[in-house]
Structure 1
Amino acid sequence: MKPVNYILNVCLLCILWACADDVIGPGTHEAGEAGMEEVSLSLSVRPARVIGRLPDDGTASTRVLDEAKEKAVDNIWVFQYDSKGNLIALPRYYEPDDLDDVKIMLRPATSSKVYVLANLNDDKGFVSDSLATEERFSELMFSFGKDDLHDEDGTNMLMLGSATLDILPGHTNNFEISLVRMLAKITFRIVKNEEANALKITRAEVKNIPAGFRAVAPAAGTIYPQKLDSVVDYTIKSPAADVDYVWYMPENMQGSNKNTDPENKNRNAPANALHLQLYVSSEADGSNYIYTIYPGMNTVDNFDVKRNHNYNVKLSLTSIKTDNRVVAAPANCYVMKHNAFIMFDPYTRTETGGGWKYTDYVDKNNPDKALHDVDILWQTGDGTHFPIGDNSKKDRVFFDETEQKVCVRSGGINGNAVIAARNAKGVIIWSWHIWVNNEAPAQLSHAVKYTTYSWNSSGINTGKRVPGYSFMSCNLGAVSTNVGDIGTFGMYYQWGRKDPFPQTARTDGVTFYANAYPHVQHVYDNEAKLLNMSSTAGTGELFRAVKVTKATGNIEHSIQNPTEFMATVTPGLFQNGGESSGQPGPGNGSTHDPTYYINDGDWYWGHNDKLWGGVPFDEATVNYNNVVANNGATKKSLFDPCPAGWILPRSDAWMGFTSTGLNTSTYTQQNYSNHGSEYAHHGMTFYMQAWRSGPTSFFPLCGWRTGDGSCFVVNGCGGYYTSAASYHNASSIFHIHPELVNPYDYGYQYARRSCAYPVRCVREEMDE
């Protein structure tokens, strides 16, 4: 939706929801219509009732739509029912020139009910059976979609008026009927506030817009609609301050709650109530928030949005203060600064990529899927200081039952944690990554734009760079951005899963070693006590690698066991091998041998290419030589591990890192700056927008966990996932080490989906 003179283009489709064979046509005197009387009708449009006020100080860059245009009537349909509610005259279509004197035909009758339906813009007739009674007319439904354009200036507004009339034969019959607009109008303005310069609104959305509306308004006090199935997407990208945005929409009447304090209006708001949500990125702390505003008949307890009402909504941003109106934006990862507090809604998620449905796993109306408790599953730390801390008193991570929100207080150091929500039976139903980093890595000003090459199914045009998205400044879960610091490595993820694994604690480049102390960083429990981690297999421990089976290789098992590494090779097999032992190991390249893997190296039994929101590799509309395909996610998946506003990169994100756009082991074809210092720096610094010039970003050589769960070539290689699946049930990864840059790797050992790699997120929307 784009602003036109700062007014949103609004789409309105009015279609009859009826089906029958006998059609009553428009028109003149039909057979059986003898005795009709000509009636003079004066039409007027009733003023809309205004709820709320916008500042009238000249600050807005556009005025509200001209009310005269909203009153325009171009055509009408007229319906007449007798005192018993039966249709007594054929519905007739007119295009009046003068609203003060419209000549129409009606049947003589006392106490007949006449309806005038204006601006339907359709003279094709109505289905007689569906409108044979006044009751059926009142229940006539119109759909609200976006296939036909509603005029941008507010004209062609669908309206309805009615009156009970005595039509006397042979008399001069003059009547007045007042029309009301059948839609509600919302005018929204963000009031500029200098105190809010650190807050950037990335998008605004209207939620719970009904998919249809009745011809006759529901009675006062009626909850309507009972169910929602909206198809209209009202979204503004980067809405501006001091601009009026206008939407038209069907009525949504959800009644009142018992609230008495305006600050608590959002608490226990009806589930289907229409509301506005603003997604805000804070330059102060790098986190993302959602402001929720419920229009209604007042600002305290009412949630009715009625036809022929104009709702003026203003928002003045001052600072981030989390309460039931301002919560952290939903995601699987929340970024926090030191000693901060966030509150988020655990029951609402907006991601649609891949077709996954959150209520299949978390649902407040299902006891087995409802939150009962939240605690710290694991957290990093040094034994004294922690990114969250000791939660034995439930004062740092907890579920607020009154607000129905999860609350988190961060500690005083950079670090990572996973918090888990459990149902009343103690089963984990969901978990979230808490990333504490005082450098605000998700802050928009820290993002680095990249460019990639133009490409299609015929090849890659290395002579033409095209804009890409913006990369996060560091790996997901990193606690440092300093070159040469192990804290740049970040967390590790199996392809398609949302939960991280702790990072390694070594940088010596040893080929294989166990995922156990002292090789990985220490992790602590809810009470800040050290968790056992004695081996990759981790028998009896929270962290363990388990060989996947048909029974465990599914979403439900992965959600309930977020710390379990789902291996496709016997856990620890590669780390214990080698040529001298006669077992698999680095000496004989067995990690590349498919015979050691089950399920083709995929933790998800039977494979699913849509876990991170993309589409199957062989369904991509563009595919170049089975190397790169446009099958990555365009919409964020429910299992995407990135914070709100960020998403996993597409498969062509790394193309500009080589001169050919393809894999190369020749340094002259590689686009990075620190050649010769890669091992000392623990990574490679790539040029992001041009060939060996311009902005750069650092990508650590953080290794990965291979299919048996063991740690592999840390500070020797680096691998980074995308949202895209590759062919032969592989994943698409970016694979690097000194003098090797592979934008696309998909072989065994490297790209099996049971491997765990770091993630470098990109912005969900392309920056302008």
Structure 2
Amino acid sequence: MYNLEILQYDSGGNYITKQTFGTETTPGTALTVNLNPKNDCQLLIVARGSGNAISSIATNKSLNEVRNSIATSSIIEAIDPSIGSLNAMPYWLHLEHVNVVSDNSGGTTQYVLQSPEGAYDTRLRLKRLATKLTVNWTFSQSMTDAGYELKEVRLCQVPKDYRLLPTTEKNEWGITYPTTIVEFVNPYRLTSATDLNKGGKTIWLPANVRGISASATSDRYRTKENAPTAASYVELVVDNPTRQERLYYRAYLGGDDSTDFNLYENKDYNWTLNIKSADYRGDARIQLLDQTPVVSTNLVPTGNCLMMLPGTNICFNPYKHEAGTNGWNTYLTDGTTLSTEKTIDHVRVLWQTKDAGTSGELVLGYVVDESNHKNLVNVSDIADKDKALVHVKVPVTQGGNAVIEAVNASGVTIWSWHIWISDYLPVGVDASKITDNSSRTTAISEAQNSTRGGAVQIYQGVSWTDPAGAFYKCVIMDRNLGATKAGIQDNQIDGRRTLGLLYQGGRKDPFFAAADGTTKETKTIYDGVGEPLDVIKQKLTTVDQLIQRPLTFSTGTNNEYPASSYNWNGDGPKTIYDPCPKGWRVPSNGTTQSPLSGYISSILSDDGTFKYCMWVGFGANDGTTGSLESKMPIFNNVMYYNGTDITSIASSPIRQSDFVGSGFIYYGTSVGPDGDKSIFFPAVSLREMNGNYRDKKNNTVYQWTSQHGTRTTSGMLIYQIQDQQISVTHPIDWKFGFSVRCVQDNIQKKP
């Protein structure tokens, strides 16, 4: 054993003492361990390996702080798994309940280990940190004779990091670890003839304990429909060029029993996959990729965000825009002419998410190859502005987000569209039916009843309840733009699904939120062939640059002000740069689209009331008197949810919860499938002006408005919930990345 350390903690995980035993500890050597006498304590025993794959465990830190200590994966993966020498491999053992008691039986007082039941015969066996996996494959001669060819073997959905004591979570499959919000990766994708002809590969990988699925009653039922979330699998990709078929053979890994999807540390797993048949209709483990160009007749209006149900297809005219002049995208055409540089040559998948964080299915799926995306996104009559169509198809998944881009003949991106895939179909009110409060109530009820997969909502306050209020004839979505879940959740992955996407002020293109609520730049988006992508961080200074680089987060300093900050147009008409779907828009928070001499006045109507502030009902007054800035809510209108408990934000709740999806509940109305709890604002890790995530989580909500403030020339107003206060008149630089919640595009303008 190399670099052995023994640490003692009390039952609550508080540090007691630590002892180290030099570089090498020879088996059979007696060790004298100095521990403190104590009942029901915890021991963590770690042999960190000859290469120090795990850093020395810090003293004076709680066990919870030590949890999730990550090993250096390159050291472990450099160990040849076919050779018996494992000097560099870390070993560990965590004893959660043990007594350290005195023993005078030998005439000298010694302290020995005792089990909680009183047994003294304690023999400790450390566990190897890594799992060993061997996968072999055979490809039958009958498949080769039929024209099929093995193109790729890939190992998918494996935790990226080796964690010393990973956090567990309880779900329908049992006690699983690591949590589903950590980063999952594909350790290998073998495509060369040399690798494929070897017929097998053995590697080390982190444990991935995903539990038991009772639905997987035999090997044929170990399918993605029956597999637990984030279970590891091997996928073999097979092509038949003659028939234009591509088949995906998926084998979920785990124990010997068909229901067992666990890959434990300190165990060896050996799998052999035999490809004998192309019967994708009769075997659910085989999926067919349709490589034919997608063609749709489901014509929808063109907006920057297109909402799609899983398993559907749409088409739209890329030169049009529901918010444009005379229905045209005026950046691309005036409706009469179409310049060469603004003529689309082709469309392609820019990025897409998976449907379970960094695990699950690609929400658009795989393209044919890097130069051919036509099976997912295709064009027809593209040079004719009147007849041009973009066709999009999405598979059946649990939903997510994607961005597709249009490219001209010179290879320049000239526009892009966000595809929001979920079962959510919000419906707005019919404003023509609203003549008084009674007809308004009826219209709202009709909109709520027509909405599918979620809710549309209203808030309290005079901006909603007064006939002169800006939102009197509006409803608002129940979730952030891009979210596939709404309301408080009881598990991490669904909590992650409530976060939605991040936007820079005035921009139409989204960026992704942190996968786990931290500052870690976890890869959460993928290209058309499933390779992970990074966000690009670079200063952009013109609207053209912002449009041409939809994956670039524009960085800079305060007071740098391109025209993009005005692109959302305040409380004026919706613009072609608004990121919301047709019929919805970024909510306003004022009465003018130009900078104001006093930002408090930006939410005042002529008679001095707050009829143009959407969040007035959240604050400490009824919206008729006084400032709303920096005020605590009254009547517990806003509560804080940390993943377990709901408390008033005035009571200083714990803010460092590990639960992704913590946030604030607004008890301002009772609409929605879950009543008040359905009006929920998850605390999302924002992006700073330099593009990095803020080193804070689960403690503040930032929501963009379309309004401009005046503290700086580049300021835009936001709605904000933070410790013990609500802010509605806070201007901030447009380059931050915040959430958006779309309101119905039916806002009443100030006379």
| TM-score (ref. length: structure 1) | 0.44
Q: Rg larger in 1 or in 2? A: 1
| TM-score (ref. length: structure 2) | 0.45
